[in-house]
């Protein structure tokens, strides 16, 4: 089986994402790979400030919603022992930013959850399918139940 050196884990904090996180830990162990983690902030409006779209988790921010996002992401990264350089808290459209960061960090595999979508959501809301369509590296999907 092919080995991987750099895994990019995409997390959305949904209830089922613990199985995705567990799989990431198994993969890191199995391949002795580096792990980068990305969460894309898409649920709160981007404040009119100079923060930029990549958020430094340690930067002091005035916006309480953004501060809460930083805290949540920081806790996850601490739990997974992720180096600061491999922590990606980014504003934007999830699939787009996952694809951008995968390219930027030269990940050789993206680990992402897959859930069955129905109707219009199947066309427009399926991040795993969108990432698979456009990213240049491998994609491992974990079916979320
Ligand atoms: P969805 O397409 O919303 O069913 O999400 C499928 C998977 O895409 C999730 O299990 C995550 O791996 C990833 N994902 C969705 N939303 C985000 C997000 N905001 N940031 C990072 N990854 C995400």
pTM of the model: 0.94
Measure 88 CA to ligand 1 centroid, in angstroms.
Answer: 14
- Give the nearest ligand 1 atom to 117 CA: 4
Tens-place pLDDT, residues 24-67 = 999 999 999 999 999 999 988 776 656 668 988 988 888 899 99
Per-position DSSP letters for the chain, written without gaps between them: ----SEEEEE----TTHHHHHHHHHHHHHHHT-EEEEEEEE-SSPPPSSS--SEEPTTS--S-HHHHHHHHHHHHHHHHHT--GGGEEEEES-HHHHHHHHHHHTT-SEEEEEE----HHHHHHS-HHHHHHHH-SSEEEEEE--
Going from the N-terminus, what domains does the chain have, and what CATH number goes with each?
6-143 (3.40.50.620)
- pLDDT the model gives residue 61: 86
Span 111-136, average pLDDT: 85
Measure 135 CA to ligand 1 centroid, in angstroms.
Answer: 15
- pLDDT the model gives residue 122: 66
Q: Which of 17, 35, 127, 139 to probe ligand 1 with, by most ligand atoms within 8 A of CB?
A: 127
- pLDDT the model gives residue 49: 58
């Amino acid at each position: 089986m092919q080995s991987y050196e750099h895994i990019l884990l995409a997390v959305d904090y949904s209830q089922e994402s613990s199985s995705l996180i567990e799989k990431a830990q198994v993969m890191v162990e199995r391949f002795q790979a580096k792990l980068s983690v990305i969460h894309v902030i898409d649920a709160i409006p981007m404040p009119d400030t100079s923060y930029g779209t990549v958020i430094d988790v340690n930067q002091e921010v005035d916006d309480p919603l953004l501060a809460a996002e930083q805290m949540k992401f920081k806790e996850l990264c601490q739990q997974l022992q992720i180096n600061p350089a491999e922590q990606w808290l980014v504003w934007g459209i999830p699939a787009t930013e996952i694809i951008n960061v995968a390219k930027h960090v030269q990940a050789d595999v993206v680990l992402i959850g897959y859930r069955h979508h129905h109707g219009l959501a199947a066309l427009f809301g399926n991040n795993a399918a969108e990432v698979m369509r456009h990213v240049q590296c491998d994609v491992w999907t974990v079916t979320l139940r």
